[in-house]
Structure 1
Amino acid sequence: MAMEINSSAFADGGSIPTRYTCQGADVSPPLAWSGIPPEAKSLVLIVDDPDAPDPKAPKRTWVHWVLYNLAPDSGGLAEAVEDLPPGSGEGLNDWGRTAYGGPCPPVGRHRYFHKLYALDTVLDGLVRPTKAQLEAAMTGHIVARAEFVGTYEKH
Structure 2
Amino acid sequence: MRPIFVSIIVAMSLMWGGGLLCVSTASQAEVSPHQQLTTTVEKIQSGLMYFTPTERLGHRAVSLHKAERMGLAQAKAGDEVILVIDESNLLIDVHRKDIPPAGHHNIDGKLTYADRLWEVVEITTVEGKQTFAVDDATGSRLAVLKEGQRVQVELNEDNMVVDIHPIR
Structure with max Cα Rg: 2
Q: TM-score category by the smaller chain?
A: under 0.3
TM-score relative to the length of structure 1: 0.26
Larger RCO, structures 1/2 (Cα 8 Å, 6+ apart): 1
Bigger proportion of residues as helix: 2
TM-score relative to the length of structure 2: 0.25
